[in-house]
A and B are shown apart, each in its own frame.
Chain A
């Protein structure tokens, strides 16, 4: 299992697409150490293979180094916008605390675009952060979200990867943004278009020599089978998220357990209230409500999927997209061939 700890909701950027926009970036929620300990007590005996710390912007949490130390010897990853990692002393401190992996979400391929998307001149800072990560020998990955604008500047992103010596890149997919009382589709390209661009981008990735993994979160049948075969053969494709597998734990700053970071309006329970000890937590997860929830999010969206040869590898893709699209709008046709 993987455990995501959202240790704050404060951020030093103002991204156009961020789910925190929902709250007008007003949230100053920060996870107190007591809540952090409550969570660890509840999940203590579970086989957690890694902790992923994120925010908001987790580097703004003053107890981040102490939290990392406390999570060892587990593997600890950090998802960050990297602004604070320009400070080599701070990055060293995180490394010495036991940080294993850093994922940087890249928000633009030029300084102008960065400013437009985030309100901050961030690109130069990310470059400095990557240089620091390389210097300190910290494994890192640049996470790029395939939105309408990224697709247009993808060649620039690839040459940026090369010129900054960033280690590897993961491609993620833009999905509807869950707002308080609505679903926003602003800036979210049509899934069919994203799938087309995926195929196109692969050629560019190959010729640039960039190390890139596709976290494909759309229905697989939007892609040609031949292309899926190629990605699988090259070991470049990851599909089916933690929500569909039911093997992720995501905690908010106040200890609330949510099913996916885009569904914080759908709390499942709270550490310290609904479960305190490891036994209580396991019973809570086995309880009818939570069990049924995961059996449903992990089921197939469309009847046609039942006959699909790739159903276990696809599951219809990101659950959030079905809050906006009807299954028939996304699911193209079941596959009958195998990928090997």
Chain B
């Protein structure tokens, strides 16, 4: 369990240096070819359920 704590700590350290922001990140979105979605590709422009 200790090991996992380190990553948590690391992430929290990075988060602590960032201000909370309400900036709406829109990004660019290529809609040229379907099927390009993967884990790092948002893949749609739907809104977050927390909004």
Interface residues of A (CB under 8 A from B): 1-2, 4, 46-47, 49-50, 52, 54, 77, 79, 101-103, 105, 139-141, 143, 167-168, 170, 172-173, 178, 180-183, 211, 213-215, 217, 231-232, 234-242, 244-248, 250, 260-261, 263, 265-266, 282, 285-286, 290-301, 311-315, 318-319, 322-323
Contacts and interface: CB of A to CB of B under 8 A. Distances in A.
Given A2-B37, A265-B3, A286-B50, 5 more contacts: A1-B46, A172-B41, A234-B32, A241-B41, A297-B15
A107 B2 CA distance: 33
Nearest to A299: B21
Given A141-B33, A215-B36, A237-B28, A294 B22 contact: no
Given A50-B43, A246-B48, A296-B18, A77 B37 contact: yes
Chain A's interface: helix, strand, loop or mixed, by majority? mixed
Chain B's interface: helix, strand, loop or mixed, by majority? loop
A238 B30 contact: yes
Contacts of B50: 246, 282, 285-286, 290-291, 294
Contact of A300 (B4, B10, B21, B26): B21
Contacts, number: 194
25 contacts: A1-B48, A49-B43, A79-B38, A168-B33, A214-B30, A237-B28, A238-B29, A240-B28, A242-B40, A244-B25, A245-B25, A245-B42, A246-B48, A260-B39, A265-B4, A266-B11, A293-B15, A296-B19, A297-B15, A298-B21, A299-B18, A299-B23, A313-B27, A319-B14, A322-B14
A200 B34 CA distance: 24
A231 B27 CA distance: 13
A322 B17 CA distance: 11
Interface of B: 2-4, 6-8, 10-11, 14-15, 18-44, 46-50
Contacts of A211: 32-33
Nearest to A4: B39
Contacts of A239: 27-28
B37 A323 contact: no
A124 B31 CA distance: 30
B23 A313 contact: no
Contact of A245 (B6, B7, B36, B48): B48
B43 A295 contact: no
Contacts of B34: 101, 139, 141
B29 to A, nearest CB: 6
B35 A141 contact: yes
A2 B44 contact: yes
A155 to B, nearest CB: 21
A170 B33 CA distance: 9
